[in-house]
Amino acid sequence: MRALICITIFTLPLYIVGIFIDQKFISHSHILAIMIAILGLLNMAKPQYKGKRTETLWSTPFILFLVISVIGLIVSPFGIAILEKGLIQIIGITVMLIMVFSIVNEIRKEPRFFITAAKIAMISLGIFASIGIVQFILWNLTPWSFLVNFSFLNDLAGGIVWRDTSHTGGIYRANSLAPEPSHFVRYLGFGLGIAFIRVGMFGNQYKQYISTVFPLWSAWAIIVGTILSVSILGWGLMLIIAIMLFLLLGKLSVRQLIIGILTITVLGILLIYIAIQTEGIFFKKLQSLSLLFVDESVVLSNSIHAQDLSALVINYNYIVAKENFLSQPLFGGGLGSHSLAAVVFLPSYVYLFNIPILNTEDAASLLLRLISETGLLGLCLFMGGILWIIMRARQVIKKKMNAGDLDDVIVVSIGILASGVGVFSLYFGRTGHYYDPVFWVLIAMVVAIPMVLKVRTVRRQKYFITRRIIPFRKWAKGARSFSIARRI
């Protein structure tokens, strides 16, 4: 089981390796997740598993979410038209939940597997990011823009899974083996929290605990790769994770603050330089964010430019989600209904300006998709589950740090939690997949944090008793016997 989990984590960035079946893309990551879920169910059925406790409270909101989703399909205004799509989504989410159970259970049995899983992820993401860095250099600084191209994967898959990176202003953006730069940074976000700590952004006090665990090259590759994506999402992700780390690490020394400020300043200068090199296109994309959640009339009153496309994709999916939500506020239109609702509710400016119709399958955002397809109840349960997991992990970490307890496990937990907050924010903002393995593996890692720290405390206590107190008692008993013998 652990070997299969390690393979799954290592190959997470290779999500596009898969095949289209009946116009639906099946990634190798989905197949591996199914295998983990099946093995997990088989392990739970074993006699020796019975009676062993694994923390399951975290799953309650998600199980209730599935129940609400089934009810949503029954009462959906789209009727039987969404039944097949809805059942596929429910099965996919169920598989991911069982995979999370399985990963958490393996970490429960061997807490150090938590560190092993994080190390494998960092090495894999470091390689993934390095490919993106090489792409950026070759495509922008040499005439060999045809190199480091993965379009052959489209032929293997039988459809478009990898796109030539977008040319923003005068710069080609790195995307490695991801479909596009925004997907590239989504994967790298998994390791950004640990990477920031590993490069010493918050001083040597925290860096020293993980310097022998995680290679420095992979940390720098992840950070630089995220910068070279020239993605607003990627840069926003870095900011969220950095802020989360500041909040988790609490009071920092003057030296740590200086190092952190200098690091952020250098990164900021680099970001501004790259933004300027894009001939102003990047700043125009920032301005386009004003179109995200406006009414159709506001869009019609503005002139539309190519750099506005990303914002407009979210805007018209927002309009569709709002209308679909209003048709059934409690349960939404039903899982899988957003694409059907788009046929009815797409705003007229999409056809008037001949804007490409994109992301109507996933609403371009997990937040919009939850509002559209699961209504108020589904949104509250799903987001409530995520927030509970985050708050529980944060509570345990802060308790340990306030007690002055610090080691590699706690530092890695801090990095994982910070990455979790950043990546979850990214998914709610710009990625609408219900059962993306990256999302759920990161959930498993965050769920495992309280359990790992609890088991670690118990084992430390046992070590102290067996290695320190018992030998001392034996020595004291022997010394007492020797003293009595001398007196006699």
Residue by residue, pLDDT tens for the chain (488 residues) are 889 999 999 999 988 888 888 777 888 899 999 999 999 888 877 766 554 555 677 888 999 999 999 999 999 988 888 888 899 999 999 999 999 999 999 998 899 999 999 999 999 999 999 999 998 888 888 877 667 777 887 887 777 877 766 566 567 888 888 888 888 899 999 999 999 999 888 878 888 899 889 999 999 999 999 988 888 888 889 989 988 998 888 666 677 677 767 777 776 777 677 667 666 666 667 677 777 777 877 777 777 776 777 888 888 899 999 999 998 899 999 999 999 999 999 988 888 888 888 888 888 899 999 999 999 999 999 999 999 999 999 999 999 888 877 888 999 999 999 999 999 999 998 888 898 999 999 999 999 999 898 876 544 444 444 444 445 455 445 544 444 334 44
Other CB atoms within a 10 A radius of the CB of residue 2 amount to 14
Query: DSSP letter at 465?
Result: I
Q: Quote the distance between the C-alpha of residue 309 and its chain's center.
A: 25
Backbone angles phi, psi at 440, to 5 degrees: -80, -30
Q: At what angle do helices 408-430 and 437-464 cross, to 10 degrees?
A: 160
- At position 129, the amino acid (one-letter code) is A
Query: DSSP letter at 159?
Result: S
